[in-house]
Chains A and B, each alone.
Chain A
Amino acid sequence: GQQVMQIPQYQHVQEGEDFTTYCNSSTTLSNIQWYKQRPGGHPVFLIQLVKSGEVKKQKRLTFQFGEAKKNSSLHITATQTTDVGTYFCAGPSSGGGADGLTFGKGTHLIIQP
Chain B
Amino acid sequence: KAGVTQTPRYLIKTRGQQVTLSCSPISGHRSVSWYQQTPGQGLQFLFEYFSETQRNKGNFPGRFSGRQFSNSRSEMNVSTLELGDSALYLCASSLRGRRGDSPLHFGNGTRLTVT
Contacts and interface: CB of A to CB of B under 8 A. Distances in A.
Same complex: yes
B96 interface: yes
Contact of A45 (B33, B58, B101, B104): B104
Interface stretch (B17-25, B75-83, B105-113): B105-113
Contacts of A99: 45, 48, 56, 100
**Which residue, A48, A99, A101, A105, has most C-beta atoms of chain B within 10 A?**
A101
Contacts of B33: 100-101
Interface residues of B, number: 27
Interface in A53-92: 88, 90, 92
A95 interface: yes
Contacts of B92: 43
A101 B42 contact: no
Nearest to A4: B42
B103 interface: yes
A92 B90 contact: no
Contact of B48 (A43, A44, A50, A100): A100
Given A100-B33, A103-B43, A45 B56 contact: no
Given A95-B56, A99-B56, A100-B48, A43 B43 contact: yes
B42 A100 contact: no
A95 B98 CA distance: 11
A49 to B, nearest CB: 11
Contacts of B105: 45
5 contacts: A35-B104, A42-B107, A93-B45, A93-B56, A93-B100
Given A43-B90, A93-B100, 15 more contacts: A42-B90, A45-B105, A88-B43, A92-B101, A95-B56, A96-B99, A98-B55, A98-B56, A98-B96, A99-B45, A100-B46, A100-B47, A100-B56, A103-B45, A106-B42
